[in-house]
Amino acid sequence: MKKSNKWLRSPIVTVVAFAVAIVLLLGAGIGTARAALTYFSEVYSTQIGMDNIGVSLLENGEAVSYRNYDSSKANGTWIEATGKLLDNMVEEGKNVELGKEYTEELSVRNTGIASGDKAAINEYVRVTIYKYWTDGENEGTGKERTLTPNLIKLKLDGVDLFDDSVTSYGNWIKDPSSTTKERVVLYYNQLLNAGSTTDNFANEISIDKGVMKGATQKQEGKKFITSYAYDGMEFNLEVQVDAVQEHNAQDAILSAWGKNVTISGTSLSL
C-alpha cells in the first residue's frame, strides 16, 4: 500500500479545497484468472476545520475501496479499506474468454459519515480510468508499450468509454483534452449528495479477439508451436476516484484538479 499527503498552499485552497482520491489497479492474465489490486490515496486538505467527507468506488454494487473522514473521533480520523477487484470475473481454474462481455459495473458513492453536529458533505466527483498491458511473467517490468490498449474494452451499455466520437455517457461527461489511448477522464455532471450513488460509468469489460492476430509458428520435432504477442500478458484497468466538496466547488476544482468547470445550480459542465 502506498500513501501520500499533499498540502496546497494557495489562498483559494486554504479556504475551500478538499479532495480525496482512490486508485484501484486490477489485472487478469488472458490465460489465467489472476487478479491483483494496489491502492493509494492522496488528500488535498484545508487548513481549517473539516466536516465529514468520504468517497467509495463500487464494483457490481459493492464498495471495493473507500476513504472516509470521521470528525467524531479524537482529532478526526480517516477510515479506509480496500479489496480485490475482478475476484469473480471467471470461475476458478478457467480462462478469460476472448470477446466475451463480463459484467463490471462501476460507480461512485458519497460515503461521508454524519456524526454529532457534523454533517456529511455533498460533493462533485470525477473518475480517471487507465488501461494497459503488463508482462505477467516478469512482474515489475512496467507497462508493455508495444501492445495496444485498444484491445481492452471497457464499455457502458455497449459504448466504448475510449471512443473519441462519444463525449457523454448518461450523467458522465468526458474531458476530451485529457483523453489518450490509455486514459479517459469522466466528470459526474450532478452534485452527489451524501449517501447517494452515481449512475454506472461502466458495466462491461472484455478482451478483443484481436489479441489472436500476429501468431507465429515454430516446429519442435513433430510438433508445431503457435505463439502470440499477448502470451503471458496481463490486462490492467486502473480507476481513480476524486471528490471535491460542494462549497465553492468551481474554485476548488480549479485548485485541486487544475480544471476549469462551470457550476450552475447543482449541475457541472466542462
Residue 262 host element (H or E):
strand 262-264
The answer, yes or no, to whether residue 114 has pLDDT greater than 50, is: yes
Distance between start and end Cα atoms, the chain:
33
Q: What are 116-125's pLDDT values in tens digits?
A: 666 678 999 9
DSSP 181: S
Return the pLDDT at 26. 42
Please report which confidence band the pLDDT of residue 141 belongs to, taking 50, 70 and 90 as the band edges.
low
The answer, yes or no, to whether residue 216 has pLDDT greater than 80, is: no
Return the pLDDT at 57. 86
Please report which confidence band the pLDDT of residue 41 belongs to, taking 50, 70 and 90 as the band edges.
very low
The answer, yes or no, to whether residue 235 has pLDDT greater than 90, is: no
Among the listed ranges 42-51, 155-164, 181-190, which one has the minimum average pLDDT value? 42-51
In the chain, % of residues over pLDDT 70: 62
Task: For the chain, give every domain's residue range.
Answer: 4-269
Among the listed ranges 21-25, 90-94, 187-191, 229-233, which one has the minimum average pLDDT value? 21-25
Contact 34, 136 (CB under 8 A): yes
Q: What is the average per-residue pLDDT within 197-217?
A: 86
Q: What is the average per-residue pLDDT within 175-180?
A: 94
Residue 16 or 56, more confident: 56
The answer, yes or no, to whether residue 178 has pLDDT greater than 90, is: yes
230 Cβ contact list (under 8 Å, min separation 6): 30, 133, 147, 151, 211
Q: What is the average per-residue pLDDT within 39-63?
A: 60
The answer, yes or no, to whether residue 269 has pLDDT greater than 90, is: yes
Q: What mean pLDDT value characterizes the chain? A: 74
Q: Which amino acid is at 184?
A: V
Please report which confidence band the pLDDT of residue 95 belongs to, taking 50, 70 and 90 as the band edges.
confident
Q: What is the average per-residue pLDDT within 62-78?
A: 67
Contact 128, 185 (CB under 8 A): yes
Please report which confidence band the pLDDT of residue 140 belongs to, taking 50, 70 and 90 as the band edges.
low
Nearest to 138 by CA among 233, 30, 33: 233
Q: What is the DSSP string of 51-74?
A: -B-EEEEEETTEEEEEEEEETTST
Rounded to whole angstroms, the Cα distance separating 86 from 36 reads 8
Return the pLDDT at 124. 93
